[in-house]
Amino acid sequence: MMVAAAILACTLVLTPGLDSPTPSVPVDPIGSRVRAIDPRAREWIRVGTTESPTFRALLGRLAGSDLILYIEIVNRNIGGFAGRLYFVTATASVRYVRIELVPDSNVRDMVALLGHELQHAVEIADARQVRDRQALALLYLGMGENTLNRSQYDSVAARVTEERVRSELAGYRAGPPAHPGAETHARH
C-alpha cells in the first residue's frame, strides 16, 4: 500500500559530513537503494554520480541506510513544486520513500533538483525514528524550518545541497542523451 506522507518542497542545502571523504558508491546505485525506471531519471543519476562529489556522497550515505528510494517522473506535482518526496511505508527492516520530479528543466538543473531531494532522503535515513508520515512531519517541524505549511516542508541543508550540486555541474555540457527521451531542454 502506497501512502503519500509529507510533501517536501524543492530548494537547496549543505549537509554536515559532505565535506568529508566521499563514501564509496555502488557502481549501479540505481540497482541498490535508489531505484528509477524512467531513462531520464537514470541519466540524471548517472550525470550526478560522475560529475558531482556531493551527489556521490548522498548516494553513498543512502547506500548504507535502511531506505529504499524510488524516483518517479510526473507531469506535475500538487502545489506546483518541481520535486517532492513522500514517505511511503515501513516494514520491520526497510523504509520506503518516493521522489517525484517534474522534468521541466535542463539536465544540470534536474540533477541539482534530484540532489535536493536526495538530501531530504538522507535526513530521513539519519532519523531512524521516522517510520510514518506523522514522524516525518515532526522531524521537519523540529528543524524549525517549516516556512511553507503544515504538509509541505523543506530544510536549509536541501537548499544548500541543490546549489552545491548545481555549482559542481557548472562545467557539465550535455552531449546527446544516453537514453531515448533523456531530458536536455532549458527551463523557460
pLDDT of residue 140: 85
| pLDDT over 50 at 14, yes or no | no
* DSSP, res 170: T
pLDDT of res. 72: 95
Listed ranges 1-10, 14-23, 88-97; the one with the highest mean pLDDT: 88-97
Alpha carbon distance 23, 108 (integer Å)? 23
- pLDDT tens column, 40-89: 999 999 999 999 999 999 999 999 999 999 999 999 877 778 898 989 99
In eight-state DSSP terms, residue 1 is -
Considering the domain boundaries, does residue 143 fall inside one? yes
- 4 has a pLDDT exceeding 60: no
Higher pLDDT, 110 or 23: 110
In a domain, 4, yes or no: no
Checking if the pLDDT of 7 tops 50, the result is: no
pLDDT for residue 185: 36
Would 185 be classed as within a structural domain? no
Q: Which residue has the higher pLDDT, 100 or 137?
A: 100
The pLDDT value recorded for residue 131 is 95
Domain encompassing residue 65? 9-16+26-168
Of 1-10, 17-26, 43-52, 134-143, the range with the highest mean pLDDT is: 43-52
**pTM of the entire structure?**
0.75
CATH number at residue 158: 3.40.390
Residue 158 lies in a domain: yes
Q: SS3 letters for 125-162?
A: HHCCCCCCHHHHHHHHHHCCCCCCECCEECCHHHHHHH
184 assigned to some structural domain: no
Distance CA 46, CA 122 (A): 19
Would residue 175 count as lying in a domain? no
Find all residues with CB under 8 Å of 126, minimum gap 6, and list them.
none
Domain membership of residue 174 (yes or no) is: no
SS3 10: coil
For every residue of 16-39, which 3-state class applies, written as one string?
CCCCCCCCCCCCCHHHCCEEECCH
| pLDDT attached to residue 146 | 54
Give residue 15's pLDDT band: very low, low, confident or very high (50, 70, 90). very low
The overall average pLDDT reported for the chain is 78
Beta bridge partners of 182: none
Q: Is residue 38, in this structure, part of any structural domain at all?
A: yes
CA dihedral 171, 116, 101, 187 (to 10 degrees): -40
The number of distinct structural domains making up the chain is 1
- Please tell me which residue, 32 or 6, carries the higher pLDDT value: 32
Which residues neighbour 28 within 8 Å (Cβ) at sequence distance 6 or greater?
A: none
Whether residue 186 is predicted with pLDDT greater than 80 in this model: the reply is no
- Per the model's pLDDT, the better-predicted residue between 77 and 150 turns out to be 77
In percent, the amount of the chain with pLDDT more than 90 equals 55
